[in-house]
Chains A and B, each alone.
Chain A
Amino acid sequence: MNDHVLDDLDAYALGALDDADAGRVASHLAVCGSCRADAASLAEVVGALPDSVPLREPRPALRERVLAAARNGAGAPKPARRGWSLGRVRVWPMLVAGLASIVIVLGAADVAAYRQLTTLSAERDNYSLVVQSFRQGGRVWYMAGSNDFAGSGGTLVDPRAEGKQPFVLFHDLPQIAAGKVLTVWLVSPDSTWARAATFMPDGRDVQAVPITTEVAGFDRCAVTLDDSPWGKHGTVVMESRIAPPTTTP
Chain B
Amino acid sequence: MSDQLPSDDALLSSLAARDLGALASLYDRYGRLAYSLAYRILGESEAAEDVVQDAFMSAWRGAASYRRERGNPRAWLLSIVHHRAVDILRRKTTFRPAPLEAAESLPGDEDTALSAEKNVENRTVREVLETLPQAQRRTIELAYFGGYTHVELSALMGVPLGTVKGRMRIGLQKMRRALEGTR
Identify the A interface with B (CB < 8 A). 7-8, 10-11, 13-18, 21, 40-59, 62-63, 65-67, 69-71, 75-78, 82, 188-192, 216-217, 219, 241-242, 245-246
In the bound complex, do residue B49 and residue A75 qualify as a contact, i.e. CB atoms below 8 Å apart? no
In the bound complex, do residue A11 and residue B168 qualify as a contact, i.e. CB atoms below 8 Å apart? yes
Known: A10-B165, A189-B62, A190-B80. A49 touches B27 (CB 8 A): no
Q: In the bound complex, what is the Cα–Cα distance between A73 and B93 (angstroms)?
A: 31
| Neighbouring A residues of B150 by C-beta, 8 Å | 11, 16-17
Q: In the bound complex, what is the Cα–Cα distance between A55 and B76 (angstroms)?
A: 19
In the bound complex, do residue A66 and residue B153 qualify as a contact, i.e. CB atoms below 8 Å apart? no
Q: Which of B34-93 contact A (CB under 8 A)?
A: 35-37, 39-40, 45, 48-50, 52-62, 64-65, 69-71, 74-76, 78-84, 86-87, 91
Across the interface, A69 reaches (CB within 8 A) one of B28, B57, B129, namely: B57
Q: In the bound complex, what is the Cα–Cα distance between A52 and B175 (angstroms)?
A: 12
The 9 closest A-B pairs by CB, nearest first: A217-B65, A54-B116, A75-B57, A16-B143, A58-B35, A10-B168, A47-B75, A52-B126, A52-B125
Chain A residue at minimal CB-CB distance from B84? A242
Q: Is the interface of B mostly helix, strand, loop or mixed?
A: helix
Q: In the bound complex, what is the Cα–Cα distance between A188 and B54 (angstroms)?
A: 14
In the bound complex, do residue B78 and residue A58 qualify as a contact, i.e. CB atoms below 8 Å apart? no
**CB of B155 within 8 A of chain A?**
no
Chain A residue at minimal CB-CB distance from B59? A189
| Neighbouring B residues of A241 by C-beta, 8 Å | 91
In the bound complex, do residue B31 and residue A16 qualify as a contact, i.e. CB atoms below 8 Å apart? no
Question: How many residues of chain B get a CB closer than 8 Å to chain A's CBs?
Answer: 77
In the bound complex, do residue A77 and residue B125 qualify as a contact, i.e. CB atoms below 8 Å apart? no
Q: Which of B10-27 contact A (CB under 8 A)?
A: 20, 23-24, 27
Q: In the bound complex, what is the Cα–Cα distance between A226 and B27 (angstroms)?
A: 41
Across the interface, B57 reaches (CB within 8 A) one of A7, A14, A63, A70, namely: A70
| Neighbouring B residues of A55 by C-beta, 8 Å | 32-33, 36, 119-121
Q: In the bound complex, what is the Cα–Cα distance between A60 and B100 (angstroms)?
A: 35
Across the interface, A66 reaches (CB within 8 A) one of B45, B53, B168, namely: B53
**CB of B98 within 8 A of chain A?**
no
In the bound complex, do residue B80 and residue A189 qualify as a contact, i.e. CB atoms below 8 Å apart? yes
In the bound complex, do residue B49 and residue A67 qualify as a contact, i.e. CB atoms below 8 Å apart? no
Known: A50-B36, A56-B36. A66 touches B50 (CB 8 A): no
| Neighbouring A residues of B151 by C-beta, 8 Å | 18
In the complex, besides A16-B149, A21-B149, 18 extra interface pairs with C-beta distance below 8 angstroms are A14-B144, A44-B71, A49-B145, A50-B82, A51-B124, A51-B125, A52-B125, A53-B37, A53-B40, A54-B108, A57-B32, A62-B49, A66-B27, A67-B23, A69-B53, A216-B65, A219-B58, A242-B84
**CB of B172 within 8 A of chain A?**
yes
Known: A51-B125, A71-B20. A11 touches B53 (CB 8 A): no
| Neighbouring B residues of A67 by C-beta, 8 Å | 20, 23-24, 27
| Neighbouring B residues of A190 by C-beta, 8 Å | 70-71, 76, 79-80, 83
Closest CB in chain A relative to B160 CB, distance in Å: 13
| Neighbouring B residues of A78 by C-beta, 8 Å | 50
**CB of B135 within 8 A of chain A?**
no
In the bound complex, do residue B48 and residue A58 qualify as a contact, i.e. CB atoms below 8 Å apart? yes
Known: A11-B149, A48-B125, A54-B115. A40 touches B69 (CB 8 A): yes
| Neighbouring A residues of B39 by C-beta, 8 Å | 56
| Neighbouring B residues of A192 by C-beta, 8 Å | 70
| Neighbouring B residues of A76 by C-beta, 8 Å | 54
Q: Which of B88-136 contact A (CB under 8 A)?
A: 91, 108, 112-113, 115-116, 119-122, 124-126, 129
